[in-house]
Chains A and B, each alone.
Chain A
């Protein structure tokens, strides 16, 4: 537990004129290299908690440790230069170019100008912006591009810790999804300790190595890996906050390669009607898949085999959704309910790996 990058010890915050504290006696640890998402309804103190870490908001009591240093006993502006900070409205400096914005903290730290230039180029590339944007002003960029600049600026001086306050809350859903995917692939490369605030439980589940669910008044209801929280909510509040589609949410966390696939009712072309019937009966279905040598050609109803006498090689119904092993069980379930054969066929390129049924998926999450 000593390797926690951020540690909150009995932290409380009461705002003047408010009878109840915004955060009451909160203790939590953020392990190095993990994304911890603080999530909860309005008034749960998630943003207050985040802002106490870089002392935009001063805690009323308690201690906060960042990278082994007592944050509450450090000069605030020096502490903040070691903590990347990304906010929803981006807060880019409108009067400075993209390159100058990204160079903000390195300049505060007095880096050599040539080193700053190199670092800016590196970051523009890292967050997926075009090099020719360097000399533009923030107002000339789209919302999604501005948010990427915000992330680049926060990473500029390579701080060990990144604080992100609803960074994707103001962009449209398509851009948000893309930024979320980008953040995860970025994190795989930079490996920062990230505290991320959102009110969106789906975003929390998708991004968090751990999710901390806060209740009104800064009460920590449950903290842990999203799979654990979805499987075993610690309280009624957590269960309610997770929503009635908790099972589906769990499915979105499990990749297909984590479960065993079934070979399925598959026969080779030329198989007799009798053998086809036996195969279909074993799976309690009224159809058979047709495949050979690791490929899956398609499927047809037993009634169609009956009229032909044998399993044909051509004129088969195709499996429309071809899933790969990196797809999630949620996507598999979607494929199952979208096809008449009611199975999801999984492929690695052209190679057929096996099938998933609704029953198999249900077993997986109720085991």
Chain B
């Protein structure tokens, strides 16, 4: 039946696309905003939890355990559970989106800082760095490539998940996918899917460029 309805319809109806550029732009902006908030909030929470885990080692296992469970809850189910509590709101969408960033970000922040050469830390302490300075001026900058790698994975994951949040009316480009499915209109599905892929690729590349610009030392190799 679906096939019958799709028959004779082009995969992309360009007239529709050009007629809805404003809507596409608005949905893309919303998608970016939802992703940005999720990453921003996720990063702040992850940094706080990572610092706790680094300071008090015993907390690391429970932290990864809880964020690991959050990570494995199917997104559809999580949004459905939250709607009765927080309604069809941005808050509901963000609680879900932020939850999924935590495990990835915390693991990368802790692994990045743990991966800093102990000799470098010892030299810093031996020359009179305070603990705080070691963290801010030595450990974080050196962990930066690993942390950015985590942010890249988290951002790509989040951009994909935002489309699911369309179910609660806050889905950015996911709106087109949902709408297209309901109306058997492939153009909308394609616009939603292609644009979110484009968004993911662009954001990922941007983060990579930022990392390269900020860590010129990471590519320095012996020229001898």
Interface residues of A (CB under 8 A from B): 54, 56, 77-81, 85, 87-96, 104-105, 108, 136-142, 150, 153-154, 163
> Cβ of B117 < 8 Å from any Cβ of A?
yes
Query: In the bound complex, do residue A85 and residue B222 qualify as a contact, i.e. CB atoms below 8 Å apart?
Result: no
Query: In the bound complex, do residue B142 and residue A91 qualify as a contact, i.e. CB atoms below 8 Å apart?
Result: no
Query: In the bound complex, do residue B128 and residue A81 qualify as a contact, i.e. CB atoms below 8 Å apart?
Result: yes
Assuming A94-B217, A140-B223, is B127 touching A87 (CB within 8 A)? no
**Selected A-B contacts with CB under 8 Å, 29 pairs:** A56-B125, A78-B128, A80-B126, A85-B126, A87-B123, A87-B126, A89-B119, A91-B117, A91-B119, A91-B121, A92-B120, A93-B120, A93-B123, A93-B142, A95-B215, A96-B217, A108-B127, A108-B128, A108-B129, A137-B216, A137-B217, A138-B220, A139-B220, A139-B222, A140-B220, A140-B221, A140-B223, A141-B224, A142-B222
| Residues in chain A near residue B138, CB distance under 8 A | 93
Query: In the bound complex, do residue B220 and residue A137 qualify as a contact, i.e. CB atoms below 8 Å apart?
Result: yes
Query: In the bound complex, do residue B123 and residue A80 qualify as a contact, i.e. CB atoms below 8 Å apart?
Result: no
Q: A313 CB to closest chain B CB, in angstroms?
A: 52
13 further A-B contacts with Cβ under 8 Å, apart from A94-B117, A108-B129, A139-B221, are A56-B126, A80-B126, A80-B127, A87-B119, A87-B123, A91-B122, A93-B142, A104-B127, A105-B128, A108-B127, A108-B128, A139-B217, A139-B222
Distance in angstroms between the alpha carbons of A81 and B125 in the assembled complex: 10
Nearest opposing residue in chain B for A145, CB measure: B224
Q: A336 CB to closest chain B CB, in angstroms?
A: 40
Q: Which chain B residues in 116-168 approach chain A with CB under 8 Å? A: 117, 119-130, 138, 141-142
Query: In the bound complex, do residue A77 and residue B128 qualify as a contact, i.e. CB atoms below 8 Å apart?
Result: yes
Query: In the bound complex, do residue B126 and residue A54 qualify as a contact, i.e. CB atoms below 8 Å apart?
Result: yes
| Residues in chain A near residue B122, CB distance under 8 A | 56, 87, 91
Nearest opposing residue in chain B for A109, CB measure: B128
| Residues in chain B near residue A93, CB distance under 8 A | 120, 123-124, 138, 142
Assuming A87-B123, A91-B123, is B130 touching A77 (CB within 8 A)? yes
Question: What total count of A-B pairs have CB within 8 Å?
Answer: 81
Query: In the bound complex, do residue A91 and residue B124 qualify as a contact, i.e. CB atoms below 8 Å apart?
Result: yes
Query: In the bound complex, do residue A90 and residue B119 qualify as a contact, i.e. CB atoms below 8 Å apart?
Result: yes
Distance in angstroms between the alpha carbons of A107 and B25 in the assembled complex: 49
| Residues in chain B near residue A56, CB distance under 8 A | 122, 125-126
Q: A83 CB to closest chain B CB, in angstroms?
A: 8
| Residues in chain A near residue B218, CB distance under 8 A | 95
| Residues in chain A near residue B119, CB distance under 8 A | 87-91
| Residues in chain B near residue A77, CB distance under 8 A | 125, 128-130
Distance in angstroms between the alpha carbons of A80 and B119 in the assembled complex: 16
Q: Which of A54, A87, A94 has the most CB of B within 10 A?
A: A94
Q: Which chain B residues in 176-224 approach chain A with CB under 8 Å? A: 215-218, 220-224
| Residues in chain A near residue B142, CB distance under 8 A | 93-95
Distance in angstroms between the alpha carbons of A54 and B223 in the assembled complex: 35
Nearest opposing residue in chain A for B221, CB measure: A139
Distance in angstroms between the alpha carbons of A89 and B222 in the assembled complex: 16
Query: In the bound complex, do residue B215 and residue A85 qualify as a contact, i.e. CB atoms below 8 Å apart?
Result: no
Assuming A87-B122, A93-B120, A142-B222, is B128 touching A80 (CB within 8 A)? yes
| Residues in chain B near residue A150, CB distance under 8 A | 123
Distance in angstroms between the alpha carbons of A94 and B125 in the assembled complex: 16
| Residues in chain B near residue A108, CB distance under 8 A | 127-129
Distance in angstroms between the alpha carbons of A124 and B218 in the assembled complex: 23
* Binary contact readout B82-123 vs A (1 if CB under 8 angstroms, 0 otherwise): 000000000000000000000000000000000001011111
| Residues in chain A near residue B117, CB distance under 8 A | 89, 91, 94
Q: A62 CB to closest chain B CB, in angstroms?
A: 20
Q: B172 CB to closest chain A CB, in angstroms?
A: 36
Assuming A92-B120, A94-B217, is B126 touching A141 (CB within 8 A)? no
| Residues in chain B near residue A163, CB distance under 8 A | 126
Q: B119 CB to closest chain A CB, in angstroms?
A: 4
Distance in angstroms between the alpha carbons of A78 and B142 in the assembled complex: 24
Distance in angstroms between the alpha carbons of A319 and B124 in the assembled complex: 55
Distance in angstroms between the alpha carbons of A14 and B130 in the assembled complex: 25
Distance in angstroms between the alpha carbons of A81 and B129 in the assembled complex: 8
Distance in angstroms between the alpha carbons of A153 and B123 in the assembled complex: 10
| Residues in chain B near residue A81, CB distance under 8 A | 127-128
Distance in angstroms between the alpha carbons of A142 and B121 in the assembled complex: 21
Distance in angstroms between the alpha carbons of A105 and B133 in the assembled complex: 13
Distance in angstroms between the alpha carbons of A77 and B127 in the assembled complex: 7
Q: B202 CB to closest chain A CB, in angstroms?
A: 27
Q: Which of A80, A92, A93, A104 has the most CB of B within 10 A?
A: A93
